[in-house]
């Protein structure tokens, strides 16, 4: 049986965690051959998030240094799965789609799968200003990294553990999301982007739109320059790039399975 680690960063999400856990299909995953662990990273919460997570059966990792990237790095270090899946603790991501996503990962031999929340069917789940900012950052990211990804900011990824071990991802904050995608695709891992349902957030919004957006903008250029410099000075022991999978464009108003193509 393969092992799946679901890593969820959480900052004051005690109210949302029971709903999130209700959407994780542990029995269905087990029937499909996946032993599942849930790792909740308590990012210095003050509302009892860690206690709620433990009561729900999660492995809790404490990360006192706040920041989205800091939380994920602590969670990935603790995860024991052959495959890692991610998602936020705010009820927005469809963990109930994991059996289908994992099926595609295995059947098509994908190494890094990311998701696209920006389809028209999800417009009501995100503020218009956030939608515009996501499209703008994603367009710039595509232009700089040439990977075709439509949603550079999505927080749901499914990837093989060794991919994380082969990446240099540094962002302590929200820019971690775009950095891990760009690092994985630039490194030559076989990747795929698939559309998902995106749901209305529960509880308090943690995103600080202007400062987070500016930090993401700065990180894109810093990462691009870093990667170019790294390619020029690549050592013999560096990761050898492999052919990347094609990026699949979502078909409008289709079901999830209709969007996949062979890699």
Asked whether the CA dihedral 218, 219, 220, 226 is positive or negative, the reply is positive
Q: How confident is the prediction for the chain on average, in pLDDT?
A: 86
For 138, half-sphere exposure in the C-beta direction (CA atoms, 13 angstrom radius) is 18
DSSP structural state of residue 238: S
- The Cα–Cα gap between 39 and 50 comes to 11
Q: Where are the beta strands (DSSP E) in 33-97?
A: 34-42, 59-62, 83-86
Q: Which residues of 75-95 are buried (b: 16+ CB within 10 A; e: fewer)?
A: bbebbebebbbbbbbbbbbbb
pTM: 0.84
The full set of domain ranges for the chain reads 2-254
The 10s digit of each residue's pLDDT in 79-97 is 999 999 999 999 999 999 9
pLDDT at 255 over 60: no
CATH superfamily of 2-254: Spore Coat Polysaccharide Biosynthesis Protein SpsA; Chain A (3.90.550.10)
Other CB atoms within 10 Å distance of the CB of residue 165 = 9
pLDDT at 165 over 70: yes
Choice between 262 and 188, residue whose per-residue pLDDT is larger: 188
pLDDT at 58 over 80: yes
Angle between helices 176-186 and 128-145 (to 10 degrees): 30
Task: Please report the pLDDT score of residue 243 as a whole number.
Answer: 40
234 — pLDDT class (breaks 50, 70, 90): very low
pLDDT at 229 over 60: no
Give me the percent of the chain exceeding a pLDDT of 70.
81
Q: How buried is residue 167: exposed, middle or buried, by Cβ count under 10 Å (0-12/13-18/19+)?
A: buried
Q: How buried is residue 188: exposed, middle or buried, by Cβ count under 10 Å (0-12/13-18/19+)?
A: middle
Asked whether the CA dihedral 208, 59, 199, 195 is positive or negative, the reply is positive
The 10s digit of each residue's pLDDT in 94-136 is 999 999 999 999 999 999 999 999 986 766 667 787 788 899 9
């Amino acid at each position: 049986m393969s092992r799946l680690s679901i890593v969820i960063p959480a900052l004051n999400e005690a109210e949302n965690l029971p709903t999130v856990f209700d959407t994780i299909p542990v029995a269905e995953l087990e029937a499909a051959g996946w032993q599942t662990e849930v790792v909740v990273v308590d990012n210095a919460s003050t509302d009892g998030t860690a206690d709620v997570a433990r009561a729900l059966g999660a492995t809790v990792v404490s990360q006192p240094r706040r920041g989205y990237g800091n939380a994920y790095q602590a969670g990935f270090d603790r995860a024991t799965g052959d495959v890692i899946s991610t998602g936020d603790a705010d009820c927005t991501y469809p963990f109930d789609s994991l059996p289908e996503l994992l099926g595609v990962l295995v059947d098509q031999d994908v190494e890094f799968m990311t998701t696209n929340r920006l389809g028209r069917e999800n417009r009501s789940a995100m503020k218009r200003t956030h939608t515009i900012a996501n499209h703008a950052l994603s367009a710039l990211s595509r232009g700089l990294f040439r990977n075709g990804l439509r949603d550079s900011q999505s927080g749901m990824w499914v990837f093989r553990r060794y991919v994380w071990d082969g990446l240099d991802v540094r962002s302590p904050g929200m820019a971690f999301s775009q950095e891990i995608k760009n690092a994985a695709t630039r490194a030559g891992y076989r990747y795929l982007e698939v559309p998902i349902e995106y749901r209305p957030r529960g509880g308090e919004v943690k995103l600080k739109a202007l400062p987070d957006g500016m930090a993401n903008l700065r990180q894109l250029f810093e990462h691009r320059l870093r990667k170019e410099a790294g390619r020029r000075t690549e050592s013999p022991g560096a990761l050898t790039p492999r052919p990347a999978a094609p990026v699949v464009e979502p078909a409008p108003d289709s079901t999830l399975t209709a969007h996949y193509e062979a890699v």
